[in-house]
Amino acid sequence: MNIEQQVELLMQGTEYGDDELKKAMTAELRERLLLARQEARPLRVYCGYDPTSTDLHLGHTITMRKLRQFQDLGHEVTFLIGSYTALVGDPSDKNKARPILTQAQVDANAKTYADQAFRVLERDKTKIRANGEWLSELSLVDLIRLGQNFTVQQFLTRDNFSNRLEKGEPIFLHETFYALMQGYDAVAMQTDVQVGGTDQLFNIIVAGRKLQEALGQKPLVGIITSILPGTDGVQRMSKSTGNVIPINTSAADMYGKVMSIPDSAMGLYFRLATRFLPAEIESIEKSVAEGSAHPRDVKMKLAREIAGIFYGEAEADAAQKAFIHTFQQGQFPDEMPEYKLQPGETVLDVLVNAKLAESKSKARGLIDQKGVRLDGETLERADAPFPHAGVLQAGKRRFLRVTQ
């Protein structure tokens, strides 16, 4: 790729909320890429991930895909585990303070982060670091000196803080430390480029760049990615809303969940979660708009690509064949778990005991939505005795062979 093609690829799927800021970051990225080529050195690129839970989902991997693009272009990529920032909690996208985690909770959550990241990043080319390396060394005086570079007003203009202030809701002092800590990460690693979602705009563009400049470094280029919506196509992907596509799952499950997203979300998924180049995506969208390609077929292409990224081509092909066999041809899958029916069990009992539903309330919800079928026939009563042996289907993708 020439420099312009690299810039187009690396800026694909970015969102700054301000055209002038995007133009400025694009120009600075172009300048850094040219300088790196002249000096024959890679750019230092990183993104931080706070281990506030144990599992990563597809939404988390959007920034990883951007890191992988830099990696494929020969640049130095660091996957930074926020072992210290997680102790404070990022307030960027929250309307209240995050609960404070203990060091033990953070350490436990972080155990599998790197391995999950290697589903996207190249293991041999990725640096894994934790920001406790340098943040734990800062003294109170150091923190005060970092804080001298910012005003309280700068923090209060942030939407999440200003909204809470207007509603009379508390803003805790420790929440303002987070941006200082993340900004210092960029200083400690002498960062050229930092990647993050739109919720990190202040932390990257204001805090990171300002601290680097104050401490004699050249301000980083912020690559701010759009936020991936969940399977509902509207709200950001989040475990709390249940609209996630986990990456620690199976190719078939991932494929099926991508197929469940609305057509309107496909363009964003192509831009954020796939390996397709800008020109290829433009061609795909044009074919749908002109009617030469059916949205279902395009979504299958999308689902196969995403499953292939995480599980390899063979498993992605198998997932696609299973989906066609089961859903397009209206057949049951060839392989499914079995469950031996116990005397007196109701429909609700089987759903919960066989783990087709996480709780009784969710099982009742499935039944109320007519999402539970036995051999193709809808089961409408949760308290009814389980009718007979057969293939039980819960929702679109869960099947169970019930035996007596």
CATH at residue 324: 1.10.240.10
pLDDT score for 89: 65
DSSP collapsed to 3 states, the chain: CCHHHHHHHHHCCECCCCHHHHHHHHHHHHHHHHHHHHHCCCCEEEEEECCCCCCCEHHHHHHHHHHHHHHHCCCEEEEEECCCHHHHCCCCCCCCCCCCCCHHHHHHHHCCHHHHHCCCCCHHHEEEEECHHHHCCCCHHHHHHHHCCCCHHHHHCCHHHHHHHHCCCCCCHHHHHHHHHHHHHHHHCCCCEEEEEHHHHHHHHHHHHHHHHHCCCCCCEEEEECCCECCCCCCECCCCCCCCCECCCCHHHHHHHHHCCCHHHHHHHHHHHCCCCHHHHHHHHHHHHHCCCCHHHHHHHHHHHHHHHHHHHHHHHHHHHHHHHHHHCCCCCCCCCEEECCCCCEHHHHHHHCCCCCCHHHHHHHHHCCCEEECCEECCCCCCECCCCEEEEECCCEEEEEEC
Residue-number span of the structural domain to which 65 is assigned: 3-225
Specify whether 362 is located in the same domain as 396: yes
pLDDT score for 36: 94
d(CA 352, CA 361): 10
Specify whether 14 is located in the same domain as 56: yes
What is the number of domains present in the chain?
Answer: 3
Query: Which of 298, 328, 358 is a domain's end point?
Result: 328
Specify whether 287 is located in the same domain as 211: no
pLDDT score for 38: 95
Specify whether 296 is located in the same domain as 343: no
Specify whether 218 is located in the same domain as 78: yes
Query: Which of 328, 360, 377 is a domain's end point?
Result: 328
pLDDT score for 183: 93
Note whether residue 300 is domain-resident.
yes
Note whether residue 237 is domain-resident.
no
Query: Which of 295, 328, 361 is a domain's end point?
Result: 328
Specify whether 93 is located in the same domain as 137: yes
pLDDT score for 98: 56
Residue 216 Rama label (left phi>0; alpha psi -120 to 50; beta): left
Specify whether 354 is located in the same domain as 211: no
Residue-level pLDDT, tens digit, the chain, 404 residues = 899 999 999 999 899 999 999 999 999 999 999 999 999 999 999 999 887 776 778 998 999 999 999 999 999 999 998 888 888 766 655 545 556 677 787 777 777 777 888 888 999 999 999 999 999 999 999 999 999 998 888 888 877 788 888 888 888 888 888 889 999 999 999 999 999 999 889 899 989 999 999 999 999 999 999 989 988 888 888 876 778 898 888 898 899 889 889 899 999 999 999 999 889 999 999 999 998 988 889 999 999 999 999 999 999 999 998 888 877 666 777 678 899 999 999 999 999 999 998 889 988 988 988 889 887 788 989 999 998 888 899 987 788 889 87
pLDDT score for 146: 92
- Write down the pTM of the prediction: 0.73
pLDDT score for 97: 52
Specify whether 174 is located in the same domain as 280: no
